[in-house]
Every structure is written in C-alpha cells, then in structure tokens.
Structure 1
Amino acid sequence: MAGFESPVISVKNLSKQFGPGCSNCQGARSENLIKNYCQVCGTVYACRDVSFDVFPGEVLGIVGESGSGKSTLMQCLYFDQDTTNGEAYLAAYQNGEENLFKQSSQQKRYIRNHVMGKVYQNPILGLKMDFSSIGNIAEKLISAGHRKVSLMEERGTELLDKVNIPVHRRKEAPKNFSGGMQQRVQIAKALSNNPPLLLLDEVTTGLDLSVQASVLDLIKGLQRELNISIVLVSHDLGVIRMLADRTMVMLEGRVIEQGLTDQILEDPQHQYTQQLVHSLL
C-alpha cells in the first residue's frame, strides 16, 4: 500500500472555530476551554490542527463521539464550510501544489465536480429528491461539463447497475426510495466523474442492520474495483473495522491517536480510544 507513493490528499493543521474567540481562549488554549468550548465568549473549536494524508487506494477511517469534529472536518474538505486555518493539497488538482482552501469559489466548484465525491449522512443534502435517479447522476455530469445526453445516460445506467438500483426504478425520484436505496443512488452520483477521492460521512447511520451490511459491502466492492481513496467518518467501530486500512481517532476537535486500524482496535494507546474499543467488546 502506501510507502513511496505520494498522497492523494494531504491535510495540514486544519482548524475550524465557530465564534470570534477572545483573550481567554485565543490560540485555542486548552486549559481555558471546557472540552472545546469557551465559556467566556461562546466560541467552539470544532477542529484543532488536524493533519493527515490519504494514499492511493487507501481507506482512512475517522472515529469519535458526537461533537468530536469529524463531520465538521468533512464539511471543510468538501467546502460545505470555510476553514479558519489550514492547508489541503490534492494530487489530482494543480499537481498537488495549490492549497485547496485558498481557491476561488469557481475553482472549489470545479474540485467538487471533478476530483471529489461526497456521500452525506442525510441523502437530502446529496440528492435532488424530485429528480429521477438517473437525472441526479446527469446533474453531476453536467456540472462537470458533459453535454452528450446519450453518454450521460450510458454512464448513469452503468453506475446504477453497479449500486444495484433496479432498471424499472431509474426514472423514479429518490423521494420514493428507502433509506438504503437513497444512499446507493448518492454513491452512484458521487462516483459519476471517477473522482480519485470519496468522502463518506456516517453513510450507514439510521439504516437497518441488514441494509447497512449491503451498503458497506457495496462500498468495499467498489473501492477495490475502482482503487479509489476514501475518507470515511463513523462513530461505529464495526464500520471502521470492516472498511478502514488506517484509523484516526478524534476527541474535542483534536486527533488523539492514529495508526493501522488493526493496531488501534487491538492495542489502543489513548485512554479515550481504550474506552471506545472496550465499549464495543
């Protein structure tokens, strides 16, 4: 796996705060914060100096309790939120030489449409619920500059095949679908432009266990077949164990531990990770 390859994405010191900060908490001084919250000015330090690399064909799992900053981190990576500080470099964009967070909104749109895909926990954020399934895929292809209807239809059909959406339901709107089917359409849409990087944010939360299993199998199969790199956020260690090569543990906006998934689950070092792993046993 990784080793001599250069990363698909490299993130350095990503920070995101909600609120202005004050003399009590400036520089996110931990000793003055309650968890990651300043009682004086109400600022929340959602991500604090988060750094990581993801290599070609690798799945990086990010785990942590609610409020640990993992979903904020994903929002920043996909430009759903602006960062406060930090850098990110994508190998597939400007040879990995331009900080993504400093790009114009037009360039950010280009990055979202061409070199990244995201699957949201809530399908309403990732799909147009009134469009047909194939229309959702076409929309992403059109955003990326495709104009040939026949090619878009072909690509849409191929992807909906991959994610097991029955032929007779492709012209149907996702609002009529079950949660598991909506997630599968989202995955197809996110993959439509062959992005080298896929962001998955709690994609199985709220699904029945049997449906979860089929969505996870699908992701695992696609990841192997397409050799795509994935950043996967979950609070469920079972999901992380099944999919992630490496795992990063977040607590109160910071990365407190990272390493090979097996290593983290068999021999957690940080007290919080130990509690997390033991609660699963």
Structure 2
Amino acid sequence: MLEQPVLTVRNLSKQYGEGCEHCVDTQTQLEKNYCPVCKTIYACRDVSFDLYRGEILGIVGESGSGKSTLMKSLYFDETITSGEGYLADYENGETNIFTESNQMKRAIRNDILGMVYQNPMLGLKMNFSSLSNIAEKQIAAGNRHVRQMENRSYELLERVNIPLHRSKEAPKNFSGGMQQRVQIAKALSNNPPVLLLDEVTTGLDLSVQADVLDLIKQIQRELQISMIVVSHDLAVIRMLADRTIVMLNGQIIEHGLTDQVLEDPQHKFTQQLVYSLL
C-alpha cells in the first residue's frame, strides 16, 4: 500500500487580474507569466505536488517564478484562483482545504501548519517579548494554561539556541539570525506536521545562515516534521531537500530527487541555474 502524502496539491493557480481573450484560455500570448494586453499576472499555473511525512521538499526558481506566492497560498495569506489541497491531518485528507471557511482555515494554520517568513516582521510582533510571540500561536490554537504555555515557550527558545535570559526581550532588539530562530520556535509551538520555510536564510551572514540551516536539519531529524523549503540558493536546497521542484514563470518545469535534479538537470533553465554556480 502506498504511503499517503501529508500534503497533496493539485492544479493550484493564482492570478492577479481578470484575464482576457488573449490569455485566459491558452496562456500562449503571455510574456513570461504576464499578459501585455490586460496586465494579468499568472503567478502560479496548475501547480501540483505531494509532500510526504518526514520529508523536506525544496522549491527553487528565479525571482518572480511563483515560489513565494505558492507558499502564501498554502498558508492562506493569499486566496487562490483555483485548485485543490488536502492535508492528511485534516479530515483524513478528504476535504479541499482551499474551499473551507475562513474560520476553518485559521484552525488549520494554528494546528497543522507552521510558517517561517523571509521577513521576520511578517511572522513576529516585534515589540512583544519572544516568550509572548511563541505563546500567541498556542493561544490561537486554544491553549489557556499559562504555566504550560510558558514552559513550552522556554523549551522551544532553548531548542533554537536563544539564551533564556533574553526570553522577555522583544525581537526588535535581536539580530536577523536570532529573529529567524524565534520565528522557527513560534512556528513549532503547536507541533505542526507541516512546516513552510520561505527564503529563511536570505540576507543573513554566511556563518549565521549555516547555524539556521543546521537548526532546521536538526529539528526535522528529531521531530520528523514535513517541510517545504523555498530558496533561490541551490546550496541551501542541496543541504536540506530530499526532493526538489524547479519553478519558472509560475509553473513547475522539473522535479525529482534533489541530487538527480542538481547533478543531471533536464530543463534548459535548470541547467543554467546549476551551471551558473559552477
């Protein structure tokens, strides 16, 4: 019997604009993923993939390829135009999460998904203490035991190597690397089966990048969380991902085992991406 994916996405599309007769049906008149006639942007076009339990799936592509739109769509920060998504940990994977009510989507975000944004300001309240930031996600999921939440927050801060004497400090006082680690702690607070990480090392110094990547790898190994990691940096994907998807102009153009995609790229764009680093 085949293993059920923890997340299944089918034909996810997200467009900005109504579309017109030039682009709606065929999308052949597009410049990359943009219609020059009606100005519609097709950010994601028929994106389908599976994520398995305990797996890290990498998504690479140039700026504007649709990677971040896909992540925002999965976390309900964006409303998709069309498509289906199923989570094994929600309604036995039988209900399309994208057609659920806003209330149910909030519950899915709080209980099943964790998100680490490229910009920590999107994931953290910068003036609240780190402790309060982590507790906030637990409160949103219905936890009302103050001592329990406090202990969980301390435990997570310790896990992500934030000194406990700084737990009452606001993230605005922290370095970029520490802010990302607080975001990771917050995302993990309710033991989500799926963690989404969007360009989490962009803008960090190399040594700090290495620390954050080591932390992600360690957490995945210990907790067996399924992760989707978006990056334009192939070194990050090579280090973390079991399988990799390559996106271009809103579409998946190549996918496979990470080693296979990076060692023997089939699509011309992937070849350029890989060889530009050699």
2:135 is aligned, of 130, 138, 156, to 138
User: For the residues of structure 1 that align with 2:6 and 2:102, how far apart are their CA atoms?
Assistant: 22
The 2-side partners of 1:122 and 1:175 are apart by 12
Partner residue of 1:12? 10
2:212 matches 1:215: yes
Matched, 1:79 2:76: yes
The two structures have a TM-score, normalised by structure 1, of 0.98
> Equivalent residue for 1:268?
265
1:46 maps to what in 2? 43
Q: How far did 1:30 drift?
A: 3.6
Q: Aligned runs of 1:205-244 on 2, under 5 Å? A: 205-244=202-241
Q: Distance in 2 between matches of 1:117 and 1:56?
A: 15
Equivalent residue, structure 1, for 2:121? 124
Please give the residue correspondences for 1:177-196 in structure 2 after superposition, counting only pairs within 5 Å. 177-196=174-193
For 2:122, what is the secondary structure of its paired residue? helix
Q: Distance in 2 between matches of 1:262 and 1:53?
A: 18
Q: How does 1:168-179 map to 2 (within 5 A)?
A: 168-179=165-176
After the TM superposition, list the runs of 4 or more consecutive aligned residues in structure 1 that deviate by more than 6 angstroms: none
Measure, in 1, the Cα distance between the counterparts of 2:237 and 2:206: 15
Match of 2:21 in 1: 23
d(CA) in 1 for partners of 2:200, 2:2: 31
CA distance in 1, matches of 2:219, 2:33: 37
Distance 1:20 1:178 in 2: 42
Deviations 1:49-108 (CA, angstroms, capped at 9, x unpaired): 000000000000000000000000000000000000000000000110110100000000
Structure-2-length-normalised TM-score: 0.99
SS in structure 2 of the partner of residue 32 of structure 1: coil
1:62 aligns with: 59
Looking at structure 2, the residues matched to 54 and 238 of structure 1 have their Cα atoms a distance apart, in angstroms, of: 21
Aligned to 1:99: 96
Cα deviations by residue, 1:162-220 (Å, 9 ceiling, x for unpaired): 00000110000000000000000000000000000000000000000000000000000
Counterpart amino acid of 1:254? Q
Alpha-carbon displacement from aligned partner over 1:222-247 (angstroms, at most 9, x marks no partner): 00000000001000000000000000
Give the C-alpha shift of residue 5 in structure 1.
Answer: 1.3
Identity %: 72
Separation (CA, whole Å) in 2 of partners of 1:33 and 1:89? 30
1:246 aligns with 2:240: no
Amino acid at match of 1:155: R
Confirm whether residue 167 of structure 1 aligns to residue 164 of structure 2.
yes
Gaps of 5+ in 2: none
Q: Secondary structure at the match of 2:64?
A: coil
CA RMSD of aligned residues (A): 0.7
TM-aligned CA distance change 1:22 to 1:30, over 3 Å:
closer
